Amino acid sequence: MPTIAEDGGSNIWIFVSALFAWKYNPLFPFGFGLSYTSFEYGSILLSSNSIKGAAKLTVSITVKNSGSRDGKHVVELYTHQQYASITPCMQRLRAFKKIFLKAGETQMVSFVLDKNDLAFVNAQLKTVTEPGDFDVMIGDKKATFNFQQ
């Protein structure tokens, strides 16, 4: 586990740097839980391949309970900016929905993203949304879109 040096003010930065160098790898990721059934994802559908300014992007995916029992499932939407002024996170959780599906049932799940959902804190500690290509990931599925100011 990383340690924090006593240097009178930059302790947090040292801890964060050590944490990233340590390669944080949780035993159980967000949304992990016991289920007595299985779920499958269809392809990700985007309302557009590009959004500009204050426009909104609808991301949809079909989820099927492919098991023999009814069950609940958390659908998690992550994004990744392919290039940014600082090194972007590999994946950032942007939205999630918990759904209930009967055995064999299929449901369309949709999320709406805007520029605020793509924002991050830059090196000057300002919240910004930079133009560029973004990946949207749900389960093992991935789609790409472009954001412009």
**Domain ranges, residue 11:** 1-28
Q: Report the percent of the chain where pLDDT is more than 70.
A: 79
What pLDDT does 135 receive? 96
Q: Among candidates 114, 139, 98, 116, which has minimal Cα distance to 51?
A: 114
Please indicate, yes or no, whether residues 18 and 56 belong to a single structural domain of this protein: no
Same domain, yes or no, for 24 and 35? no
Say whether both 42 and 113 belong to one domain. Answer: yes
Name residues whose C-beta falls within 8 Å of residue 106's C-beta, 6 or more positions apart in sequence: 62, 63, 64, 65
60-74, 82-96, 103-117, 127-141: the lowest-pLDDT one: 82-96
The overall pTM is greater than 0.95: no
- Look at the chain and report how many structural domains it folds into: 2
Whole-number pLDDT of residue 115: 94
- Between vectors from CA 123 to CA 118 and to CA 125, what angle results, nearest 5°? 75
- Let me know if 5 is exposed, middle or buried by CB neighbors in 10 A (0-12, 13-18, 19+): exposed
126 and 138 share one domain: yes
Kindly report which listed range (28-37, 38-47, 50-59) carries the lowest average pLDDT score. 28-37
- Specify the pLDDT at position 46: 98
Domain match, 3 and 37 both: no
Two tokens at 137? 């990931």
Task: Identify the CATH number of the domain in which residue 131 sits.
Answer: 2.60.40.10
Q: Model confidence over 45-82: pLDDT tens digits?
A: 999 999 999 999 999 999 999 999 999 999 999 999 99
pLDDT confidence bin for 30, thresholds 50/70/90:
low
What's the pLDDT band for 31 if we cut at 50, 70, 90? low
Q: Which of 75, 146, 136 is nearest to 107 (CA)?
A: 75
Residue among 110, 132, 126 nearest 52 (CA):
132
Name the DSSP class of 86.
Answer: S
Q: Indicate the average pLDDT of the chain.
A: 85
Radius of gyration of the chain (CA): 19
Place of tokens 């100011």: 149
Structure tokens at 60: 């949809």
Q: Verify that 69 and 90 share a domain, yes or no.
A: yes
